[in-house]
Amino acid sequence: SGKPAAAADAGLEYTNIDDIPQIVSDLRAAFLTGKTRSIEYRKNQLKQLAYMLKDHKDDFVESLKKDLGRSRFESIFAELMGTTNEIVEAVAKLDKWAKPTKPWAGVAWAAHGAKIRSEPKGTVLVLGAWNYPITVQIGPVVGAIAAGNTVILKPSEVAGHTAKLIAKLWNKYLDPECYRIVNGGIPETTAVLDQRFEHIFYTGNGTVGRIIAEKAAKWLCPVTLELGGKSPVYVDKSADLSIAAHRILWGKSFNCGQTCIAPDYVLIAPELQDKFIAELRKAYERFFPKGKGGVEESASYARIINPGHWKRLDAMLGGTKGKIVLGGEGDENSKFLPPTVVANVKPNDPLMTGEIFGPILPIMSVRNVKEAVDFINSRDQPLSLYLFAGDSKVKDFFFDNTRSGACVQGDTLLHFAVDALPFGGTGPSGYGNYHGKASFDQFSHQRASLDAPSTGLLGKIIELVMSSRYPPYTEANLKK
């Protein structure tokens, strides 16, 4: 059928391409009715979205297990909890976010009622990736609804079971006049992208990101691109190696390494490498005890999404000139790949070219923080940049001299959960950001507004004060 295994296996029904223009024009018409301008309506729809996740928590855990072999804990912790929290916050703060703000415009404009109105853009499109099908698909929709737009969500067909479940539940919970799902692969997505939108929010890889941006350019449609890349970690000699090893291995094993902000590779001084690997071994044994069957038997450990990605990762491991010091042996049939640490990796290694997006952790030598910074700066700006250091001079130097979507000392992944922080990339890791208020802003237009005094006594006074702008122009009037 041309569908990826998971989509075919799940029996995911694709949207009829011929229906797509009508779906979009219905949403455009619904927007113009003004229905989504009501804050109460938006809050109700957001609550419905939360009920959808709550009522069907077990169904989502199940579909995510089918798609990613993922544990209940990871699905609840990284998807259902996070997205529900986003919704709860949006409902609680929507009045405040949507309220026009009055900037101080200066004495000259004190009577002109300058205001900034956060207004919906119109009809928007959200396209998501397969690795966290709730967080990166329904997550952005929270901002789109909160801001008052009508929305199409196009879930990733690669996580077919979850895409099917979302499609099944969507219209039971949300108003189909304003919020629709389109399912499909490249032909369906291309047909959607041929339509006019007022914003497109895309999460996925940079190659498709470029396709999206080009398509959007035809309509001068603004785009948010949440992309990936290699997120480095530098472990300094002032770090606590045991804590660093635990937190790095956790970030690399979570969802089997298929996380856009997973620590991609480690930079560390050569004299620390062995000690750091010993700490990684300890963490590994603690997370996946041999006595309980090790990582392959562990109910806590996910699988690679599909055979294609498994083979890609296996080929990377096959091609490395580094030394596999932990893990390594996977199983193609069950798409199992253990957390795998590769030491003595050189910059031109296959593990150091593209984003790994799997549980493989290469370790490369740098002599000090200066060399780490130079190496990072010689490459694309990453989505996240991680540091483990106790020395505040090292912290300052590292963050003051690098660029990235986010920078985190002392942990991995956790900044994603802090809704008060905008989440997004820079350079090849994407542009625009979201989470919390940033999501609302991303899907809003900051509309400038004035209410100039133009009637009554005040109108007459202002007319007098400002009449020097009218022709015939004179030099004297410029001085007024």
Active site residues: 226, 260
Please report whether residue 355 would count as binding ligand NAD according to CB under 6 A.
yes
**Residue of 68, 91, 127, 191 interacting with ligand NAD (CB under 6 A):** 127
Could you give the CA distance from residue 171 to residue 159 in angstroms, rounded to a whole number? Answer: 20
Site string for ligand NAD, 366-385 (x = CB under 6 A): -----------------x--
| 136 or 266: CB nearest ligand NAD | 136
Instruction: List the interface residues with ligand NAD, window 178-217 (CB under 6 A).
Output: 185-186, 189-190, 203-205, 208, 211
CB contact set of 173 (below 8 Å; sequence gap of 6+) = 48, 49, 51, 52
Site string for ligand NAD, 411-430 (x = CB under 6 A): --------------x----x
**Is residue 120 within 8 Å of residue 148, measured between CB atoms?**
yes
- The answer to whether the Cα torsion of 273, 278, 281, 287 is positive or negative is negative
Interface region with ligand NAD, contact rule CB under 6 A, candidates 16-24, 30-38, 154-162, 462-470:
154-162
Q: How would you write 124-147 as a 3-class SS string? A: EEEECCCCCCCCCCHHHHHHHHHC
Q: Looking at residue 76, what DSSP letter applies?
A: I
| 244 or 406: CB nearest ligand NAD | 406
| 89 or 157: CB nearest ligand NAD | 157
| 36 or 195: CB nearest ligand NAD | 195
Please report whether residue 154 would count as binding ligand NAD according to CB under 6 A.
yes
Burial class from Cβ neighbours inside 10 Å (0-12, 13-18, 19+) for residue 372 reads buried
Dihedrals phi, psi of 20, to nearest 5 degrees? -65, -45
| 186 or 414: CB nearest ligand NAD | 186
Within 10 Å of residue 374's Cβ, how many Cβ atoms?
Answer: 12
Instruction: List the interface residues with ligand NAD, window 75-104 (CB under 6 A).
Output: none
Interface region with ligand NAD, contact rule CB under 6 A, candidates 7-15, 220-228, 365-373, 459-467:
220-228
**Residue of 52, 142, 227, 369 interacting with ligand NAD (CB under 6 A):** 227
Question: First CA to last CA across the chain, in angstroms?
Answer: 75
Could you give the CA distance from residue 154 to residue 132 in angstroms, rounded to a whole number? Answer: 14
- The answer to whether the Cα torsion of 83, 89, 91, 94 is positive or negative is negative
Please report whether residue 131 would count as binding ligand NAD according to CB under 6 A.
yes
Helix (H) / strand (E) containing 247:
helix 241-253
b/e map of 49-72 (b: 16 or more CB within 10 Å)?
Answer: bbebbeebbebbbbbbbbbbbbbb
Interface region with ligand NAD, contact rule CB under 6 A, candidates 99-107, 121-129, 168-176, 321-329:
121-129
Count of residues that bind ligand NAD according to CB under 6 A: 28
Please report whether residue 130 would count as binding ligand NAD according to CB under 6 A.
yes
Residue numbers at the binding site for ligand NAD (CB under 6 A): 127-131, 136, 154, 156-158, 185-186, 189-190, 203-205, 208, 211, 226-228, 260, 355, 357, 383, 425, 430
